[in-house]
Amino acid sequence: MEKYSEPHIIDLPCIRDPRGNLTFVQNGDSRLPFDIARVYWTYDVPAGEERGSHAHHQGQELIVALSGSFNVELFDGVATRTFTLNRPFQGLYVPPGLWRTLDNFSSGSVCMVLTSVPYDEADYIRDYDEFIALSLGKNKDKE
């Protein structure tokens, strides 16, 4: 089975300029652990609303707060890690197999997600009990 990195913050290039700053990411960049197959973004998230609440079988993601801030909670079936994203030149790498919940969206925030796979509902684990059962199996394999 493929070995993925743990979740971590990736610093992206930031070209500072009196006219305004610029950040970019492209396939082949050694900072990016996967090739980008799809980009989506969420915006106009009402105060107090949550997004996510699912895991992926294969899809890897880089989550960027293009504007504003929000929290990303990652649960591997045992432990939870919470990351606050609020810098458009940083991305959170999320390997497959983690239950993610995004919340605490500030007003006007924009969450951009780069993913390693095209959209396919079959890659989603949306049922929490199914996720727990799968992660229990994986954690047993590690013992």
Q: Which residues are catalytic?
A: 54
Whichever of 14 and 69 has its CB closer to ligand TYD, that residue is 69
Going by C-alpha positions, the residue among 51, 138, 33, 10 that lies closest to residue 95 is 33
Geometric angle at alpha carbon 41, from 84 and 38, rounded to 5°: 110
Nearer to ligand TYD, 11 or 49 (CB): 49
Interface with ligand TYD includes 51 (CB under 6 A)? yes
Is 41 among the residues that bind ligand TYD (CB under 6 A)? no
**CA atoms of 73 and 103, how far apart (whole Å):** 8
Nearest distance from residue 58's CB to ligand TYD, in Å?
14
Interface with ligand TYD, residue 91, by CB under 6 A: no
Dist CA 94 CA 15 (whole Å): 25
Near ligand TYD by CB under 6 A: residue from 40, 41, 43, 128 = 40
Query: How does DSSP assign 68-118, residue by residue?
Result: S-EEEEEE-SS-EEEEEE--TTEEEEE-TT-EEEEE-PPTT-EEEEEESS-
Query: Is the CB of 14 or the CB of 123 nearer to ligand TYD?
Result: 123
Q: Contact region for ligand TYD (CB under 6 A) — 29-37, 38-46, 62-70, 89-97?
A: 38-46
Interface with ligand TYD includes 119 (CB under 6 A)?
yes
